[in-house]
Amino acid sequence: MAFTNADTRSASPQADLTRVLADTIVRFERDNFHRTARRVRVHLVDDLILLRLQGVLSPAERNLAESREGQMLMRQLLVREFEEVHELLVLRLNEVLPGRRVRGVSVDLDPAADERLIVCRLDGPIDSLTGTEDATWETGTHEAL
DSSP notation for 68-87: HHHHHHHHHHHHHHHHHHHH
> In which band, very low, low, confident or very high, does the pLDDT at 145 lie, cut at 50, 70 and 90?
very low
* Sequence-distant contacts of 128-133: CB under 8 A, at least 24 apart: 129/13, 129/17, 129/98, 129/99, 129/100, 130/12, 130/13, 130/14, 130/17, 130/44, 131/12, 131/13, 131/14, 132/14, 132/44, 133/12, 133/14, 133/15, 133/18, 133/44
Cβ pair 125, 103 in contact under 8 A:
no
- Give the residue with greater pLDDT, 119 vs 130: 119
Query: What residue spans define the domains of the chain?
Result: 13-139
> Per-residue pLDDT averaged across 76-97, rounded?
94
CATH top-level class for 13-139? alpha beta
Residue 63 has pLDDT above 90, yes or no: yes
Q: What is the per-residue pLDDT for 2?
A: 37
Helices assigned H by DSSP within the chain: 13-33, 59-64, 68-96, 127-130
Q: What is the per-residue pLDDT for 98?
A: 83
Please state, in angstroms and as integers, the Cα–Cα distance from residue 52 to each residue in 5, 71, 114, following that order. Answer: 22, 18, 11
> In which band, very low, low, confident or very high, does the pLDDT at 127 lie, cut at 50, 70 and 90?
low
> In which band, very low, low, confident or very high, does the pLDDT at 83 lie, cut at 50, 70 and 90?
very high
CA 95 – CA 58 distance, rounded (Å): 30
pTM of the model: 0.79
pLDDT tens digits, residue range 1-51?
333 334 444 467 778 899 999 999 999 999 999 999 999 999 999 999 999
> Per-residue pLDDT averaged across 94-113, rounded?
94
Give the three-class secondary structure for 22: helix
In 10 A of CB 141, how many CB atoms? 15
Q: What percentage of the chain has pLDDT greater than the value 90? A: 72
Residue 96 has pLDDT above 90, yes or no: yes
Q: What is the per-residue pLDDT for 143?
A: 42
